Structure 1
Amino acid sequence: MEQKMKSGVELVALGLNHRTAPVEIREKFCLAPEVIKKGLEKLEIYEHLHEAVVLSTCNRSEIYAVVSRGCGNTVASFWAELNNTECDEDFFRQYTYRYEEEECVEHLLRVTASLDSLVIGEGQILSQVKHAYAIAQSANATGTLLNLLFNRAIATGKRVRTETRIAFNAVSVSYAAVELARAKLGDFANCRVLLFGAGKMAELTATHLASQGLKSLYVANRHLDRAVELANQYGGQAVEWPEVYGLLGSVDIVITSTGAPHYVIHKREIVHALDSRNGKPLVLIDIAVPRDVEPAVGELSGVCLYNIDDLKAVVDDNIQERQKEALVAEGIIQEEVEGLMDRFAYLSMQPIMAQLSDKAEFIRCREMKRAMRKLPDLSEEEYRVIEKMTHMIVRKMLRDPMRMVNKTAGTSRERILKFAIRKLFKLQEESIDE
């Protein structure tokens, strides 16, 4: 089913991700929140670009926009200027993807539900989408269309995680990094690991290392207090930044995940460290974007360097079970896409139909709670079946009114229909001359 909004604007998504671009390309489009906000605050200088949200993570860089119909190239211009990068047609053809209208809606919902992630079921993307949307709102860069789209996308992401087991036993990038290190060096009992960075990714990495019985953990961070906090949490030792390079001669594994915009480990430092290693191998796993380790380090004998793109094999080994749940999630996505496209089609009637949808959803949730109190022994699968059934009942009951609204939006019958709907369903009373 392909639908378009009945207005002079259209939805467009433009971006690149871990499937279309290697890390050396993605890192050029990794933007700090303050850079994104500053760019979105200047949105008004683009005549045909009305709304925008920019999503920038280690594995993707995307812009979702509302543009004047037929002016989609404005999105590419804004995106390139925001990233301070010149992009010709060959670049866009080779590394990027573009979605319009319904495809744009479906793509964002799949992203938010973690179906488009390197690790299907990972939990970080939902909060990243929320953060991207919050930045755009703070820059006054969103309006009716993107507010509706992102609120529904976030709700869909939560629904997928609630109604499926897609996140059950899901690996994370940090887990994959630890598994890769274990595959190279075996038992961690006699290993010494150095973590560069003390953020969320480093914390998750430390958790996985601890579960594997790690012998020694060192944590280095620009802000020593954060390194101390993380090291103490896992029985490790914090290292002041100027002293950290001295450890490269004695540790077995280095895992980096800083937010630095430049390399923090260079070839010269590893060359110096190799002199004191007596041929002992060194494994470096760089899961940061932009990368933390100079790529030339991988050319050195006795050194194994891996970046985030090298984790795919580990992820693939752990994906089979979640792919079954992904099929269930895809069904939820399609249902939500249809609902969103219906709502986009009658935006002029959106407020009253939102009232009706909200009332129906309130009643559905209330009756579900009442029913569940009487059925305490339901299995998780039985609950999911009933939950889905009630969603479908509400959706199908409202489908015909939605279609009628769609046909009358913008016509002489619109006001009369609004009045009738409010009377029939006891919604907020307003004048027929609203």
Structure 2
Amino acid sequence: MQLLMLGLNHKTAPVEVRERFSLAKGAVRQGLMNLSEYDGLQEMVVLSTCNRSEIYAVVDDAASDEVTLKQFLFDLTGNEEDIDEYLYKYVDEECIRHLFLVASSLDSLVLGEGQILSQVKEAYALAREAGTTSTVINTLFHRAIATGKRVRTETRIAYNSVSVSYAAVELARQELGNLEGAGALIFGAGKMAELTAQHLVARGVKKIMVANRHLDKAETLAAEFGGEAVPWDQAMRRAVEADVIVTSTGAPHYVVKPWETQQLMAKRKGRPLFFIDIAVPRDVDPEVADIKGVTLYNIDSLEAVVDEHVEERRREAKAAYAIVEEEAAAIEKRFQYLSFQPIMALLSNRCERIRAREVRRASSKLPELNEAQWRQVEHMSRMIVRKILRMPMMKLTAAAGTEQEEFYIEAMRALFKLDTIGETKSEEKDCYRYAQQ
């Protein structure tokens, strides 16, 4: 059993590659529900954001199951192209550290941004809902989320941090010189669109228009900022009133096309138009950038935005890295003994069943004992079992992670017949629950 992570992100793949491997929630859910069809893949969480697509899995053997995991990624996206130059993989300890860095926003496009921790939580919740998490993944993601929270609590890495939406608005301000009194059109009405509207208003934008396929959502967001909801099919006509257009939809195809942008620019009579596409997959056809008077930036352009607080956050990142190392070392130690937990649980359950059976037999022969005396008998019998098991458990623990690990597991199974006598489905379930704890 090993941990294996396969993925690509903003550091290894440009947006035109990332968008082809962006994973919609529905596709992820469907893929996870069919995980049993892939040999060697036991547990899984799929994390997909605008800047990364990563699969965390518990596999039988990382070396042989990497091909299966890659096929799972291809099946999710419908792509079969050669992307080895963009992919990275991490196994066991490296996988743990990478996830902790991701959850702590130390691997983000914008250092210290807060959205990634919520995205990790959502990815884990989706996997639990689909039934693809168990002992290892549950332990790993609980600790990763706790580590992300600890980093944000114990360091100032999130202090004055920027978000993707903030960086987008800052880029618009730098390019246009000033947003005071400007007009903006936002495609999309999700969380990213809401944050973008907040930053636009804060920078002095006076006219906010929101276009969304569901008009009621556009109306709700527009009302929050004193703006106007625009019907989806009229958005590009109304764009003549905008200086900045920000796109942040979940559409799987381009929503802004060259021909309609060409028509729009003719109506603007030379007035320039600034597009910021922060969606993955992209919302704006790249050919729009070739139209005279149009400036188009996508999410990869945001890395160049000057952030006056980045040096402070880099200093805080040193403390955050130390926290990640501490937490990773702790969970590695816990995983070291994970392989023994099922066998320990089986042995404990076996002994507990024997103890309880013998106490029940004694109760029919000792009717004169009162309740207090029976509590003493119960306590005494439990202590006898605990002391008998103490040495075997210590031997198992000492062998964890060594060459003798497999020998002791098999020895325990053989000596106590843990795979045969009295092992019912119910007992297996109890044992598994113990291992999860």
Q: Give the structure 2 partner of residue 184 of structure 1.
A: 175
Whole-angstrom CA distance in 1 between matches of 2:412 and 2:141: 27
Q: Give the structure 2 partner of residue 323 of structure 1.
A: 314
Q: 1:259 aligns with which of 250, 269, 293?
A: 250
Displacement after TM superposition at 1:175 (Å)? 0.3
Q: Say whether 1:159 aligns with 2:153.
A: no
Q: Give the structure 2 partner of residue 74 of structure 1.
A: 68
**Tell me, what secondary structure is at the counterpart of 2:252?**
coil
Whole-angstrom CA distance in 2 between matches of 1:341 and 1:352: 19
Q: 2:13 aligns with which of 21, 24, 40?
A: 21
Structure 1: runs of 5 or more not aligned: 1-8, 354-401, 416-433
**Tell me, what secondary structure is at the counterpart of 2:158?**
coil
Instruction: Give the AA of the match of 2:30.
Output: K
**Tell me, what secondary structure is at the counterpart of 1:188?**
coil
Go from structure 1 to structure 2 and tell me whether the alpha carbon gap of 1:242 and 1:346 turns closer, same or farther (over 3 Å shift). same
Q: Give the structure 1 partner of residue 187 of structure 2.
A: 196
Q: Give the structure 1 partner of residue 77 of structure 2.
A: 83
Whole-angstrom CA distance in 2 between matches of 1:106 and 1:134: 20
**Tell me, what secondary structure is at the counterpart of 1:258?**
coil
Instruction: Give the AA of the match of 1:83.
Output: T
**Tell me, what secondary structure is at the counterpart of 2:268?**
coil
- The total of aligned residue pairs comes to 359
Displacement after TM superposition at 1:240 (Å)? 1.2
Structure 2: runs of 5 or more not aligned: 345-392, 414-434
Q: 2:49 aligns with which of 50, 57, 78?
A: 57
Instruction: Give the AA of the match of 1:210.
Output: V
**Tell me, what secondary structure is at the counterpart of 2:267?**
coil
Q: List per-residue Cα deviations over 1:116-169 (Å, max 9, x = no partner).
A: 000111111111111111111111111211111111111111111111111111
Instruction: Please give the TM-score of this superposition, normalised by the length of structure 2.
Output: 0.78
Q: Percent identity?
A: 55
Q: Is the 8 A contact 2:181 2:204 kept in 1?
A: no
Whole-angstrom CA distance in 2 between matches of 1:312 and 1:11: 31
Q: Give the structure 1 partner of residue 296 of structure 2.
A: 305
Whole-angstrom CA distance in 2 between matches of 1:15 and 1:315: 28
Q: Say whether 1:280 aligns with 2:274.
A: no
Q: Say whether 1:34 aligns with 2:26.
A: yes
Q: Give the structure 1 partner of residue 89 of structure 2.
A: 98
Displacement after TM superposition at 1:241 (Å)? 1.4
Instruction: Give the AA of the match of 2:34.
Output: K
Whole-angstrom CA distance in 2 between matches of 1:183 and 1:405: 63
**Tell me, what secondary structure is at the counterpart of 2:189?**
coil
Instruction: Give the AA of the match of 2:266.
Output: D
Q: Is the 8 A contact 2:247 2:277 kept in 1?
A: yes
Displacement after TM superposition at 1:414 (Å)? 8.7
- Superposition map of 1:275-424 within 5 A: 275-314=266-305, 317-348=308-339, 406-409=397-400, 411=408
**Tell me, what secondary structure is at the counterpart of 1:238?**
strand
Q: Is the 8 A contact 1:178 1:208 kept in 2?
A: yes
Go from structure 1 to structure 2 and tell me whether the alpha carbon gap of 1:25 and 1:315 turns closer, same or farther (over 3 Å shift). farther
Q: List per-residue Cα deviations over 1:31-90 (Å, max 9, x = no partner).
A: 1111111111111111211111111110000001111123232211211222211033xx
Q: Say whether 1:228 aligns with 2:219.
A: yes
**Tell me, what secondary structure is at the counterpart of 2:100?**
helix
**Tell me, what secondary structure is at the counterpart of 2:305?**
helix
Whole-angstrom CA distance in 2 between matches of 1:180 and 1:348: 51
